[in-house]
């Protein structure tokens, strides 16, 4: 962590006083968001709202309270993953089927300026996605896991990031030739 970077505990009063989570709306100004991956910027600018209108993905924005600037975003979708018998045993699942319901982080990006100033924004977004999945379980439908396709093509360090945040690789979906690695996090462990 460089001397200019501040570690924010997002569940604390300090973090909540600096940032707020908001859903993407047609009136949201996106013009100043810029992460290091052009494809993720283009998704936010051109596809996120359409995906939301088509009921494909729901996008959430982490905004700085003082300025309204977008520090990060994530798009969430429903998912299902196939787990082998061994993988199910790892999670103590006695469920008779291979396919297990999940919520997927389809996109997750942090603005370059905010990632230079603050540490922990990406991890906070993962915690928030897990909270959304747990809330969904309480009120609507079940999701045992949080899933992600870790994008190796754009960031080789992404595997370490997701592993640090409790994700493990899905053996059933592992393919050495893929540009992404399917991963899961048990939201109940």
Burial label, 130 (beta-carbon count in 10 A; 0-12, 13-18, 19+): buried
Q: Is the pLDDT of residue 2 over 50?
A: no
pLDDT at 71 over 60: yes
Rounded to two decimals, the pTM is 0.89
Q: Where are the alpha helices (DSSP H) in 5-57?
A: 13-18, 38-42, 48-53
- How much is the pLDDT for 1? 45
- Which tokens go with 152? 């190796």
Q: Which residue has the higher pLDDT, 73 or 95?
A: 73
Q: What's the pLDDT tens digit per position in 4-59?
A: 555 555 555 556 688 999 999 999 999 889 999 999 999 999 999 999 999 999 99
The position carrying tokens 């047609």 is 26
**pLDDT score of 164:** 97
Q: Which residue has the higher pLDDT, 174 or 83?
A: 83
Domain locations in the chain as residue ranges: 6-186
Q: What mean pLDDT do residues 91-109 have?
A: 94
Residue 177 is predicted with a pLDDT of 59
pLDDT digits (tens, 9 = 90+) for 105-156: 999 999 999 999 988 999 999 999 999 999 988 888 889 999 999 998 888 8
d(CA 64, CA 159): 27
**Per-residue confidence (pLDDT) for residue 171, from 0 to 100:** 82
CATH topology of domain 6-186: Aminopeptidase (3.40.630)
DSSP letter at 179? S
Give the H/E segment covering residue 132: helix 121-139
Q: Is residue 48 helix, strand or coil?
A: helix
Q: Which residue matches tokens 């924005």?
A: 61
């Amino acid at each position: 962590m460089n001397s200019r970077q501040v570690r924010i505990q997002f569940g604390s009063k300090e973090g909540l006083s600096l940032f707020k989570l908001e859903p993407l709306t047609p009136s949201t100004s996106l013009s100043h968001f810029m992460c290091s991956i052009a494809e993720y910027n283009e998704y936010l600018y051109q596809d996120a709202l359409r995906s939301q209108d088509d009921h494909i993905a729901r996008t959430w924005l982490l905004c700085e309270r003082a300025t309204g600037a977008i520090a990060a975003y994530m798009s969430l979708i429903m998912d299902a993953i196939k787990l082998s018998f061994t993988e199910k045993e790892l999670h103590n699942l006695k469920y008779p089927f291979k396919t297990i319901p999940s919520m997927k982080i389809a996109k997750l990006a942090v603005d370059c300026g905010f990632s230079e100033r603050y540490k922990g924004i990406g991890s906070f977004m993962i915690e928030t996605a897990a909270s959304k999945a747990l809330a969904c379980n309480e009120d609507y439908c079940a999701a045992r896991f949080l899933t992600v396709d870790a994008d190796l093509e754009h960031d080789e360090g992404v595997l370490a990031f997701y592993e640090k945040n409790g994700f493990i690789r899905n053996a059933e979906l592992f393919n050495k030739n893929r540009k992404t690695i399917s991963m899961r996090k048990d939201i109940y462990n």
